[in-house]
Structure 1
Amino acid sequence: MGRKERIKELIQANPNLSFLATLFILIIFVSFFLQVAYFNHFIHQRLEESVESTFKVFQGKVSDYIDLLETIYQIEFIPEFGELAESKGLLAELVDILNEPAKRVKVTELGVFYQGKPFLTWHYTQTNLDVKACQPTRIKNGALLTVMRPIKTDKYNLCGVLSFDISYHREVILTHALFAGVISLLNLFVVIYLTIRALKSEVSRINAQKKLQAERDLALLGRMASSFAHELRNSLNRVFLELQGLGVSTTNTFLFEEIKKMLQWLEDILLFQKEINIKAEVFKAEDFLLEAQLFFAGLNKKGVNFYVESKVEEVCGDRFWLKKALENLLKNAYEAVKEGGTIKVSLNKEGENFVLEVFDDGEPLPSSSDKLFEPFFTTKREGFGLGLYLVKKVAEAHGGVVKIIPQTEGKTFQLSWSCKPKV
């Protein structure tokens, strides 16, 4: 099953849970954006408050300095006051006050102008501001915020310009956004993880219910088929004996072959219903493969080349059921090969596991090969599709598996199992 099909199956397993998970994911994203937006608004508000308070201090100090200079020199204020030694000292004091260590917003440029002429300047680089008109202006350039406003004293109208370093506030916003993003991602992963776990659990529950129902249906079908097969087999056996009693020659191959074929089908149905109870024993591999050769000799009407190979001397398992599994694999291989084809049986041991392989150079695997071991599934015109299902049951009863291995020409059915004989 592909990834898309798997996701589709999970979503279809519980649409209500899928809807709730989608809703939670949407809430997480909306919550993240709301957090970032709110914190951004909050930080900008704090920044505005800091700028406003700094500008008020700036305006008050400039007004006090002008009054002080007029008192000292006993003349009205002129821009040339800025060249006085006292003004230099006042400027240094003003910068220290505006850039107190506790403040997060630092002043990087300062300018005070009267009628377009500079009075006090510190690191001033602005050239695109009309300080004569002094219209309230805000310019943001990266981490630098420049503010120009009129400064009104009791007697004069001046223009003040301050530039602020707002990198701290930007870093706080980015840090919070990153933190909120990490928390949101963690919440997202938790929701997705819990949703997938819940959906998988639901899928497992549904599959278990389907499997249980299928097993019940198969059991019922098996009981019905077994009853029917018993009666039909008895009738066919009586027909077979009556034909012989009437002197019908067994050389009439068509008639007798058809009866034998129907008897074999009935045996398949009876084995399908029969419960497999494993009675493990150790037996010779040579004898086991000899039985397979004798079975295939009676089956081979197409001149198929048949080979057996064993790398072990003894085999452990239920001899009866392993024999039935091998016979079904041989019949399946025989039906797949053409006249003069090749079938090879090999018996080996890999670690603690016995491995039985049946190779044929016949038709390649069909596209529906994953269903070959399901009951009543067949790609042939005859039969009930129970042979490979029986092989699977025998493998699982031994605690093993059966699988198909594609080859360059043909295919190999591999049955592997572990076994410890009862003492």
Structure 2
Amino acid sequence: MIVARATICGLPEKSPRLDRHSMDQPFRILIIEDNPDTRANLRDILELDGHEVVVAASFNESKAIAKNGNIGLVITDRRLPEGMIEEFLPEVKENSVEADIIVVTGFGDMQSTIAALRLGVTDYVIKPIIPDDIRSIVKRIAEKKRLQAELAEEHYFTNEVLKTVEAIVLVLGLDGTVIRFNPFFHQLTGWTQDELRGQDWFEHCIPEHERVRIKEVFIATSHLEHTRGVVNDVLATDGRRHRIRWSNTTLKDATGAAEAVLAVGVDVSDLVAAQVRALRSERLAAIGQTMTALSHESRNALQRIKAAADVLSLEVAGNKNAEDDLHAIQRASSDLQCLLEEVRSFAAPIHVHYHATSLDHVWHRAWGDIAATRQGRDATLIASCDSENLKIEIDAVRMEQVFRNLFENSLAACHDPVRIQIDFCSEDDEVEIRVTDNGPGFNPQQQQKLFEPFYTTKRTGTGLGMSICQRIVEAHGGTILVQPCSSGACVVIRMPRQASSDISHPSQLASSE
């Protein structure tokens, strides 16, 4: 039975469109019906609700319309000029991938209905078509499509935010295992989802000395507390540490119980480093000013001590005890002179003079400079690869000082036989230098303080050697850090291969004498 066009008489005027979404983008419906009256009748009914309706008299005619895309719903007669719609359903779905399908027929039976539903038909309507019923069905489908579109848009937005935002988004289970994280965490640390998913977050990514404190924060958060402003280091796969400031909350299930912890972290490493450099510059300026006055007075006093000792050496010649005492005074005077010079050089600004040079020549000269220190020791330096052809723009004299200091530290820390290994790796525009030894290494507390001025693990010394190394490396635009090692110490230096024209590091800005 076919519904006559007169069926629409007495229907209300066109109502406002259903929602803001339909105002912005009307729901587009394709009607495939060979009877012109039924086709026009359906079109009038559906346009009352603000839908955009396009019609076709046959399946072949509908294909051209479907190719234009954006069809949200296909309403088709079961019997078409080309045959039964069941034959064409796969092609209908292919041509209108996102569309739901409603089949209208006057000859419905259970088998054909089940077959159509199995082929992906959304609904099966028996003629005569009741306007309110078809409007209700279409409204339900349009609302479903609207919600799906909103969900897809929200999902897209969320994914784009997670991919774009320069912040860590991390989800942990209540047992502290990693559930998931956003791409920025991978970019920052090198960890992949496959490597960390299901693993203990604290064991893999938190330095040992901070684990107890951070676990306490995690437990507090898991008990439905919101925690923020927590700062701790996160370990990258290459051993680097990133200082992260966290804001944490819980994710809850349908009953309101906590099921996971959501942590959002911002990398504040640069900010912390800038604060440290600013503080260091202030301290260097103060040290520099103090040393200007101190070195002037001390130099005169040391010169007087030296002159008096030289004269006295002539008078006590042949007196063994007096000569021994005099030599002790001279050594003390020399040690004091060296101490003053080391502090003065630490406080003075570092000016880098770049030259293209081979790293092989630099570390070879540094090793040769400490020949006297190595005398009588079983000490070997091993280079894992040929660095002769590894050219880099550096201040060779300054970098010799860095290598010399690292080698001397290893000799002081290791018992014979001493084995020092130096490895080089060049990646793109950066060079990585890794110096390891077979000594006792550093504990977490020592690693934290190693580059602090006046901190030393030796029995004697000023504690300025590693601080000076850090200033030299940073003046080149590089970084130096201590990496955890299964045995011995491991110091890693990363530097650009070419000098940057805009390097202006605080190491170069300290007050001069």
Q: Which has the larger radius of gyration?
A: 1
Q: Report which of the two has the higher share of helix.
A: 1
Per the normalisation by structure 2, the TM-score is 0.40
Q: Using CA pairs below 8 Å that are at least 6 residues apart, which structure has the higher relative contact order?
A: 1
Per the normalisation by structure 1, the TM-score is 0.48
